[in-house]
């Protein structure tokens, strides 16, 4: 995972005093996490890893992962 993303419309964010936390939305029944990943690994595996890391912090909420972009960091020939 390279970083967080708020998604194509900016909806994945937690609003709090100060700037919003882009890439993580905490809702009553769900935690939504938006990520940017590197090319080369199956997206389903990455999403499973993110869920596994967030679930202990989610307080029983469902964890949804959005892969918002895939960065191609392969060398150009």
Listed residue (10, 6, 36) closest to 24, CA to CA: 6
The whole-model pTM stands at 0.85
pLDDT digits (tens, 9 = 90+) for 20-75: 899 999 999 999 999 999 988 899 999 999 999 999 999 999 999 999 999 886 65
Q: How many CB atoms lie within 10 A of CB 4?
A: 17
Task: Give the Cα separation of 26 and 55 in Å (integer).
Answer: 12
Task: Give the Cα separation of 6 and 40 in Å (integer).
Answer: 22
Which CATH architecture fits 3-71? 2-Layer Sandwich (3.30)
3-state SS of 31-46? EEEEEEEECCCCHHHH
Sequence spans of domains, the chain: 3-71
């Amino acid at each position: 995972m390279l970083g967080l993303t708020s998604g194509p419309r900016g909806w994945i964010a937690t609003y709090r005093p100060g700037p919003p936390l882009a890439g993580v939305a905490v809702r009553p029944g769900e935690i939504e996490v938006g990520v940017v990943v590197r090319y080369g690994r199956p997206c389903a595996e990455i999403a499973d890893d993110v869920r596994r890391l967030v679930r202990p912090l989610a307080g029983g909420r469902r964890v949804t992962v959005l892969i918002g972009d895939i960065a191609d960091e392969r060398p150009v020939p």
